């Protein structure tokens, strides 16, 4: 796992050396084990390395001869190519210079051109400089597990694993993009290629770009999900196939030359991973679970402990306290440069810290299980007739009906609506279309961004076996009745878990995961509301008096919606200070706001 960045100038002159070194410094947390820069003509590539596979010879950039002259092609990559062993065997007489998983993509590109990524199985953001074709090529994995951002400026084309690196290198000035800002407030994440930063775009999941003379010249898109409707597969055959695919996916996701473990919530997805990891490993699996003491929310630690004990796991419990909330949130918001106002960033950040302190550099996590196997309640609602409570997803924004925002957003759902239209392909059921909508934006721009930033802040790599392309294709193509049955999602996955690890109690009704942010904010609601109302980021979008009233209502515990809106404003204000105003956080929430 690494950070990558680069510049291609319009003029063909060598990129500014200071800017390349600034990109390196800005991405150092993603790659604390080393860094490298290569410059050729008008292109400079940067990589900071977190060494996971091939610790001795896997330093990047990778450089290989190309054509009949003395030209060399170069690659930098962020991610893991899980099928690198098989690729090396398939490629025959290629003279590999290293044992790294990220060297084969460069040779694949030299053979297959822009379509090289179709041969990859993994999570990745890759940049290749081809001097013979005089182009720069960028590619991102189909689910968008690994991030990549770019900007087209007057001087050329720049890219980086994180937007903040483009800002710190002086390549793009920090400024808000109003449309995505409104999405963030209403949805808690943003959609599509446009980021919340003016002038910075995302490389979309599955997208490959070709850049010539500092301008995009071509693009390909590789879809994450299969076309068409559900497959006709009996339950018994589906269970056998699921077992084979889980065994395969978890197995290759454990390929590493460093210690690894997993995040165990006690829910279905992480329990499935634990069951398979316990099968595949001779040593006890290292597991980490977060909980919240002294609050009114459900705490899954007891259940997670029982599940871990059932397989003899080496289990660690991590408490995220109210004190942690007040002290850690500013640095967590600073880590989330592409913002997702998802309160799950809180325990994820501290779990990553605990894993790193325990000596781990790789953690497996269960993201993607709900999206692939139909787990969310909103999927069940979208299938029902309106008379029986059916409704589309995300029709109400966080601030609807609260009267807090100065100008209530009217177009905040446009990007989501575009994803809905694109998801309705011939043959798909309503359930599949809803799953596809979430895979377009919610998954990469909320869940996977959260995992990437929180873990990389501590130099830990997050892997998501349930988003393996083979397993995901199978799961998405399951008939609806093997996903949802008797009002319960992930039915086939639960059936498998019931046989593999009964202690997980997969058919028991769970209260669901939540973080008590509303409860914590409420205890300091009046004080916090008065401070927040004075922040320039909040004054720009809200009437100060309405902000104070909102936080006062939160203090009186006037409902979940009030608490959610207060949380979003708090996160946004902290994020804005760091990433728009450029003020690094020092201390806790009240230190930052001067209270």
**How do the pLDDT tens digits run along the chain, 595 residues long?**
689 999 999 999 999 999 999 999 999 999 999 999 999 999 999 999 998 988 888 899 999 988 777 889 999 999 999 999 999 999 988 889 999 999 999 999 999 999 999 999 999 999 999 999 999 999 999 999 999 999 999 999 999 999 999 999 999 999 999 999 999 999 999 999 999 999 999 999 999 999 999 999 999 999 999 999 999 999 999 999 999 999 999 999 999 999 999 999 989 999 999 999 999 999 999 999 999 987 877 788 999 999 999 999 999 999 999 999 999 999 999 999 999 999 999 999 999 999 999 999 999 999 999 999 999 999 999 888 676 667 888 999 999 999 999 999 999 999 999 999 999 999 999 999 999 999 999 999 999 999 999 999 999 999 999 999 999 999 999 999 999 998 899 999 999 999 999 999 999 987 666 899 999 999 999 999 999 999 999 999 999 999 999 999 997 776 789 999 999 999 999 999 999 999 999 999 999 998 6
Q: Are 226 and 164 in contact (CB under 8 A)?
A: no
Spatial separation of the C-alpha atoms in residues 430 and 385, rounded to whole Å:
11
**What are the start and end residues of each CATH 3.60.20.10 domain in the chain?**
2-221
Which fold would CATH assign to domain 235-377+452-504?
Answer: Rossmann fold (3.40.50)
Which fold would CATH assign to domain 2-221?
Answer: 3.60.20
**What are the start and end residues of each CATH 3.40.50.620 domain in the chain?**
235-377+452-504
Best CA proximity match to 256, nearest among 426, 42, 80: 80
Q: Phi and psi of 491, rounded to 5°?
A: -60, -45
DSSP-assigned beta bridge partners for residue 375: none
* Strand ranges inside 108-182, DSSP E: 122-130, 135-140, 149-152, 156-160
Spatial separation of the C-alpha atoms in residues 313 and 304, rounded to whole Å:
11
In this structure, are strands 461-463 and 362-364 parallel, antiparallel, or unpaired?
parallel
**Can you read off the two tokens belonging to residue 65?**
């001869």
Spatial separation of the C-alpha atoms in residues 349 and 515, rounded to whole Å:
13
DSSP-assigned beta bridge partners for residue 47: 4, 36
Considering Cα of 128, then 108, then 118, then 473, what sign does the dihedral take?
A: negative
Q: Phi and psi of 559, rounded to 5°?
A: 105, 155
């Amino acid at each position: 796992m690494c950070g990558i960045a680069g510049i291609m100038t319009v003029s063909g002159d060598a990129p500014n050396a200071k800017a390349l070194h600034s990109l390196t410094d800005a991405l150092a947390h993603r790659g604390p084990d080393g860094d490298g820069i290569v410059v050729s003509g008008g292109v400079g590539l940067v990589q900071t390395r977190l060494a996971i596979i091939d610790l001795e010879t896997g330093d990047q950039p990778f450089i290989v001869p190309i054509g009949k002259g003395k030209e060399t092609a170069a690659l930098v990559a962020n991610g893991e190519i899980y099928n690198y062993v098989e690729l090396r065997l398939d490629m025959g007489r290629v003279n590999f210079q290293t044992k790294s998983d990220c060297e084969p993509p460069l040779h694949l590109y030299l053979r297959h051109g822009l379509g090289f990524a179709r041969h990859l199985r993994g999570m990745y953001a890759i940049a290749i400089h081809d001097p013979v074709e005089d182009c720069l090529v960028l590619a991102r994995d189909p689910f968008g597990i690994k991030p990549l951002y770019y900007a087209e400026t007057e001087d050329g084309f720049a890219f980086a694993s994180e937007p903040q690196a483009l800002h710190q290198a002086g390549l793009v000035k920090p400024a808000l993009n109003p449309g995505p800002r409104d999405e963030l407030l209403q949805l808690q994440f943003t959609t599509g290629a446009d980021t919340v930063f003016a002038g910075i775009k995302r490389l979309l999941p599955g997208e490959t770009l070709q850049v010539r003379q500092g301008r995009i010249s071509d693009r390909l898109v590789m879809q994450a999900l299969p076309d068409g409707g559900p497959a006709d597969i009996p339950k018994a055959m589906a269970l056998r196939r699921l077992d084979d695919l889980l065994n395969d996916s978890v197995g290759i996701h454990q390929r590493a030359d460093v210690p690894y473990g997993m995040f165990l919530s006690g829910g279905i997805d992480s329990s499935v991973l634990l069951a398979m990891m316990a099968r595949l490993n001779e040593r006890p699996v290292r597991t980490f679970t977060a909980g919240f003491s002294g609050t009114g929310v459900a705490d899954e630690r007891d259940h997670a402990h029982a599940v871990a004990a059932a397989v003899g796991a080496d289990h660690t419990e991590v408490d995220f306290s109210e004190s942690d909330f007040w002290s850690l949130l500013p640095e967590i918001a600073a880590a989330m440069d592409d913002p997702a106002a998802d309160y799950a960033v809180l325990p994820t950040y501290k779990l990553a810290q605990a894993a790193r302190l325990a000596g781990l550099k790789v953690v497996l996590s269960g993201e993607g299980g709900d999206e692939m196997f139909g787990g969310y309640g909103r999927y069940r609602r979208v299938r029902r007739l309106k008379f029986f409570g059916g409704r589309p997803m995300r029709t109400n924004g966080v601030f609807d009906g609260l009267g807090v925002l100065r100008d209530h957003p009217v177009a905040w759902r446009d990007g989501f609506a575009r994803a809905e239209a694109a998801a309705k392909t011939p043959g798909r059921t309503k359930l599949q279309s809803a799953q596809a909508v979430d895979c377009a934006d919610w998954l990469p721009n909320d869940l996977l961004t959260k995992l990437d930033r929180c873990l990389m802040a501590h130099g830990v790599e997050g892997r998501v076996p349930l988003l393996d392309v083979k397993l995901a294709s199978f799961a998405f193509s399951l008939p609806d009745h093997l996903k949802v049955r008797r009002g319960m999602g992930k039915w086939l996955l639960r059936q498998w878990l019931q046989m593999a690890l009964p202690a997980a109690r997969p058919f028991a009704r769970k209260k669901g995961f939540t973080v008590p942010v509303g409860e914590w904010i409420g205890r300091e609601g009046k004080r916090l509301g008065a401070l927040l109302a004075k922040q320039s980021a909040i004054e720009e979008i809200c009437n100060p008096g309405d902000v104070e009233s909102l936080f006062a209502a939160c203090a009186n515990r006037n409902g979940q919606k009030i608490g959610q809106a207060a949380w979003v404003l708090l996160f946004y204000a902290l994020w804005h200070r760091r990433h728009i105003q450029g003020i690094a956080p020092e201390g806790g929430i009240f230190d930052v706001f001067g209270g």
